């Protein structure tokens, strides 16, 4: 995207980039379970036309709209698994490993004539003008020779991930660090890549999310060329197992039996990989009163989410589109315009992730009334999505970040959710309406925050 606006773009990369789709040290996610949300897939294909078709041609899997190939349990609700989406092309759900996707993106990026990759270098500091009002480039060091040099630029974009040092660099230049919003989840998970016998894993995508009283998860995704990734995870300080047999035992009370059977006979393609994520964390650059010109932060460097919801790459892609739209109006006051515009998009994903996390009593934190109302209404939506294909698809499009959450608040949709759940209560009188502590019984409230 930046190559469309600047004469040259230099990517400072700490790794020596691979020539094959294999994991690399600088991307630990490459050894972990991964899924690209449908909204992210749309943006990838917009920025690199034809990319999704290339993925499939080289072995990736594309969801064909059959709900039986998705096994999703969210908040204790197992979503509908029968029927087909009326227009699966409008919901581009693709399955491939993280190294496979990154390799295809890298190949495309290398074809952009004004992009150069400076491999095996670390950024040591930001440089600035004498008055420190504008960032003028970065100081980098070669990881082998330790040779230092300065790369000058009109714009520096920090996409270095959760461990970004930009807050430190800003402080060194006399600016404030951004405030941070944080929700502690203490997530730990274990993943293993395997080769499954053809046809042994019936689903393209399985995600059993934590629920109250059971703060653990199971997931399995079918990748390119009969590769699959299995994962188990635990939140709130619980510890996941360390071996594949222990993973199967750990997930026995929540995972589909067929998936566990496929895992048991699969050929391991690597060791069990472990990863820990302490929190959702949002650095509020949008709230800083002073910002230097010529500096943008995006991706996990600005906001990192609980990864079990798969939002990270899609939010970063959305931010790239926001930056593009800002640059189309010129670079005057670019950082402030970008941070404020991107915050509106980040907030949607943030409320979704933290709302789901704080719905678990095992996750500590203050739950504002607006979030409790949102969670109560979403519980009604997910109840209806267990049996109704229209509600199911609308919910998938929202959590896939194609549609705004405001689409869940359209009067016709609220009415459908209410009718579906009322019909279910007539069939099963033991089903009870959702109640929220501290909120009087009555019609389901419309959560204001959900509409943002």
Supply the DSSP string of 368-426, one letter for each residue: -HHHHHHHHHHHHHHHHHTT-HHHHHHHHHHHTTSS-GGGGG-HHHHHHHHHHHHHHHH
**What does each C-alpha distance from 173 to 166, 177, 220, 324 come to in angstroms?**
11, 11, 46, 27
Within 149-286, residue ranges assigned H as helices are 166-172, 244-250, 257-265
Give the whole-angstrom CA distance, residue 294 versus residue 133: 9
Is 224 inside a domain boundary? yes
- Select from 358, 348, 402, 356 the least CA-distant residue to 381: 356
Tracing tokens 């920090």 back to the chain, one arrives at 158
Asked, for residue 405, whether it belongs to a domain, the answer is yes
Considering only CA atoms, which of 312, 293, 292 is closest in space to residue 301?
A: 312
- Residue 435: predicted pLDDT: 39
Structure tokens at 431: 């089903």
pLDDT score at 28: 86
Let me know how long the chain is.
Answer: 452
Q: Which residues of 185-213 are buried (b: 16+ CB within 10 A; e: fewer)?
A: bbbbbbbbbbebeeebbebbbbbbbbbee
Domain boundary among 252, 278, 304: 278
**151: exposed, middle or buried (C-beta count within 10 Å: 0-12, 13-18, 19+)?**
middle
Which positions of the chain have pLDDT values less than 50? Answer: 433-452
Q: Write down the pTM of the prediction.
A: 0.92
Token pair of 38, please? 């449908």
Kindly state whether residue 59 falls inside one of the protein's structural domains: no
Place of tokens 């399955």: 95
Which of 249, 278, 307 is the last residue in one of the domains?
278
pLDDT at 439: 37
Last residue of a domain, one of 241, 256, 278: 278
> What's the confidence (pLDDT) of residue 236?
85
Rounded-to-integer distance, Cα 210 and Cα 233, Å: 9
In this predicted structure, what is the pLDDT of residue 432? 53
What whole-number distance in Å separates Cα of residue 161 and Cα of residue 119?
A: 17
Token pair recorded at residue 425: 């209560």
Contact 384, 237 (CB under 8 A): no
The three-class DSSP label of residue 32 is: coil
Distance between CA atoms of residues 137 and 145, nearest Å:
21
Q: Domain residues for 198? A: 182-278
pLDDT for 428? 75
Tell me what pLDDT residue 427 has: 80
Q: Is residue 190 part of a domain?
A: yes
Residue reference for tokens 């600005």 = 302
User: 258-289: buried (b, 16+ CB within 10 Å) or exposed (e) per residue?
Assistant: ebbebbeebeeeeebbebebebbbbbbbbebe
Tally of domains in the chain: 2
**243 part of a folded domain:** yes
Is residue 154 situated within a structural domain? no
* Exposure string for 74-96, b = 16+ CB within 10 A, e = fewer: bbbbebbeeeebeeeeebbbbbb
Distances in Å between the Cα of 272 and the Cα atoms of 226, 243, 268, 309, 447 are 18, 6, 9, 21, 41
| The predicted structure's pLDDT at residue 74 | 92
Tell me the backbone φ, ψ of residue 183, rounded to 5 degrees.
Answer: -125, 115
- Is 254 within a domain? yes
């Amino acid at each position: 995207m930046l190559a469309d606006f600047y004469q040259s773009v230099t990517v400072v990369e700490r790794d020596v980039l691979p020539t094959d789709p294999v994991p690399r040290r600088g991307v630990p996610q490459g050894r972990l379970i991964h899924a690209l949300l449908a909204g992210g897939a749309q943006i990838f294909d917009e920025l690199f036309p034809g990319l999704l078709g290339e993925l499939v041609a080289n072995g990736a899997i594309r969801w064909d709209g059959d709900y039986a190939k998705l096994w999703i349990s969210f908040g204790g609700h197992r979503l509908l698994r029968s029927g087909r989406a009326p227009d699966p092309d409008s919901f581009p759900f693709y399955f491939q490993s993280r190294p496979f996707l990154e390799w295809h993106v890298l190949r495309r990026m290398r074809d952009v004539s004004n992009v150069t990759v400076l491999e095996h270098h670390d950024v040591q500091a930001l440089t600035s003008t004498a008055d420190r009002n504008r960032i003028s480039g970065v100081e980098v060091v070669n990881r082998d020779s330790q040779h230092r040099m300065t790369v000058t630029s009109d714009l520096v974009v920090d996409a270095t991930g959760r461990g970004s040092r930009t807050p430190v660099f800003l402080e060194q230049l006399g600016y404030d660090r951004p405030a941070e919003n944080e929700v502690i989840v203490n997530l730990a998970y274990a993943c293993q890549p395997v080769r499954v016998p053809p046809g042994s894993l019936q689903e393209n995508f399985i995600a059993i999310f934590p629920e109250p009283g059971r703060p653990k998860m199971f997931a399995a995704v079918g990748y390119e060329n009969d590769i699959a990734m299995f994962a188990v995870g635990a939140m709130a300080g619980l510890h996941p197992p360390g071996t594949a047999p222990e993973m199967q035992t750990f997930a026995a009370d929540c995972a589909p039996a067929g998936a566990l059977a496929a895992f048991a006979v699969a050929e391991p393609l690597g060791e069990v990989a472990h990863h820990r994520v302490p929190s959702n964390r949002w650095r509020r650059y949008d709230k800083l009163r002073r910002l230097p010109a010529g500096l943008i932060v995006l991706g996990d460097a600005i906001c990192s989410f609980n990864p079990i919801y798969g939002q990270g790459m899609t939010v970063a892609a959305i931010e790239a589109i926001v930056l593009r739209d800002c640059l189309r109006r010129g670079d005057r006051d670019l950082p402030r315009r970008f941070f404020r515009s991107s915050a509106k998009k980040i907030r949607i994903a943030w409320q979704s992730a933290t709302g789901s996390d704080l719905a678990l009593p095992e996750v500590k934190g203050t739950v504002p009334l607006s979030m409790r109302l949102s969670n109560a209404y979403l519980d009604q939506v997910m109840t209806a999505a267990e049996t109704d294909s229209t509600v199911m698809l609308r919910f998938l499009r929202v959590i896939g970040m194609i549609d705004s959450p405001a689409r869940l608040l359209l009067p016709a949709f609220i009415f459908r959710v209410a009718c579906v759940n009322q019909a279910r209560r007539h069939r099963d009188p033991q089903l009870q309406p959702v109640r929220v502590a501290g909120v009087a019984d009555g019609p389901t409230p419309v959560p204001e925050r959900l509409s943002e």
